[in-house]
Structure 1
């Protein structure tokens, strides 16, 4: 089975349940295990795991109750507020970046009202956004690094991949964010990003394909934003863009994923 399921009835948490059905049926399938999918969807847990392994992610705090919003003293504005158990930029908009306590309270409460889940609040890293794709299982390879070019956004807009930027064709956010591959990076920075991406791939237990999203600060320090064990691999998505730069057609990329899954099942 080529597993492309990301949710069931709009419930992202059920993504891992579908993979669990394949496991119960003892049916070979592509991609990550139920455990890895579940871990990756718990963004605070991923950040804790990466921090334990010495990998930098933005400082963060989880708010579990809308009436108890007390930010850590060492958290510096601006902050970005996200749902803690969603992917695909769900719940992220230009208003997600907040600059004071009143804006923070408003956005955290919005997350509870709209998504009925804790809010993840991170320090907002000003800098470049980079995507690092990994392909394979037994001998995975890191593909060329892709960058999100925000130059098409208006000056007032935050340089983030919002839900509109990812999915809403025709919006300023969508038209103003373009993927560029390969990203122009110093060789040592590129090597560092690829090494961290491979470490993340293994820590979270990814298989066959995955993508690690980074912010590269103005000082050149990489921060992991997310590890996605089930990224969009359609032919116009970032993963396929990196694969093409590596020298693979879309059909060859899909074939590599299938071969990796078959090799694992034998």
Structure 2
């Protein structure tokens, strides 16, 4: 097959941190894979204020846009804007539609939707008074950014024992000021952590082999994938956080339940192309969905690609299947 494919990504400044610069690694690898598949790839930073971006999209009239935009002007809450703009132009794009991208990127809205659809997720207290769930206190909690991905803002101090609502409100407000973004708190599940990646097929979706995040941490240290564990290769957190695809027969029931829940997330959140669902499992063996990532990282060293390789799927085949899902959806409309 042939045709122009635009790889749309967020602009990356020269002094960008590793989590921001990673999107360029993705874009280059996707471009290489698309070229090998016979397409003509064009890497393009997305900006509503740039005439070059708008002009290029209108001039090329691409067969499809491979959308890996993660933020706009450094703000994760604008991740859905690229999808909405492409919808406006009538250009098909890979991955989740704008509505699903917005819903999954707003962590509290996503949790509300999970609750409505009987998908287990840890109890939380958000940034406003409208949350339907009360967090029983005292309890260990983790304070997170409401919008940001890539473990931005997460470190060991994010996990705290909360004695009462006054303490919780003060800590959430303090964290919001420090990160310069809205934060919320959810009950910290002190247990095992799993990632389940999903990849579209011609007839539906395939759940790739589950991965467990194994923490080789001291007893006193909170077992979380924080910013250092994800991005700082020189840190103890990075070195002592490993991905494993090996499981014993005693995990079969749990893994089946994780797969079933991941598929439920795919259906109820209207996910497309590819996605990843992150879980924690408590000491009683009960799984809870932490987050749903509608456009997970697909760099060659990412967890998603590792799961695909575990299933015998090459990087080129991952890109081909994501693209094919977008093109088939366009043809069916």
Relative to the length of structure 2, the TM-score reads 0.73
Aligned with residue 238 of structure 2, among 170, 174, 193: 174
CA distance in 2, matches of 1:217, 1:263: 39
- Equivalent pairs, count: 260
Distance 1:257 1:240 in 2: 13
Say which SS state the counterpart of residue 265 (structure 1) adopts.
helix
Correspondence for 2:6? none
**Could you say if the C-alpha distance between residues 17 and 27 of structure 1 is closer, same or farther in structure 2, counting changes exceeding 3 Å?**
same
Aligned match of 1:251: 316
SS of the residue 1:186 aligns to: helix
1:208 to 266, 269, 273: 273
Contact kept, 8 Å, 1:165 with 1:171, in 2: the verdict is: yes
- Flag the 1:73–1:107 CA change in 2: closer, same or farther, 3 A: closer
Specify the alignment match of 2:262 in structure 1: 197
- After TM superposition, the structure 1 = structure 2 runs for residues 1-266 of structure 1, keeping only pairs within 5 Å, are 1-64=65-128, 72=134, 74-101=136-163, 104=168, 107-136=171-200, 138-151=203-216, 153-184=217-248, 186-266=251-331
Unmatched 5+ stretches in structure 2: 1-64
Is the Cα contact below 8 Å between 2:209 and 2:245 reproduced in 1? Answer: yes
Tell me if the contact between 1:50 and 1:57 (Cα under 8 Å) persists in the aligned partners. Answer: yes
User: Cα deviation per residue 1:188-239 (whole Å; 9 max; x = unaligned)?
Assistant: 2111110100001111111000000000111110000001101111111111
Task: Decide whether the 8 Å contact of 1:96 with 1:107 is kept in 2.
Answer: no
Q: Which secondary structure does the structure 1 equivalent of 2:189 belong to?
A: coil
Partner residue of 2:28?
A: none
When structure 1 is superposed on structure 2, of 96-105 and 30-39 the one drifting more is 96-105
Gaps of 5+ in 1: 66-70
Shift of 1:105: 5.1
Report the alpha carbon displacement of residue 27 of structure 1 after superposing the two structures with TM. Answer: 1.4
Highest Rg: 1 or 2?
A: 2
Contact (CA 8 Å) 1:182, 1:245: kept in 2 or not?
A: no
Range that drifts further, 193-202 or 24-33:
24-33
RMSD value over aligned CA atoms?
A: 2.0
Change (3 A) 1:75 1:157: same
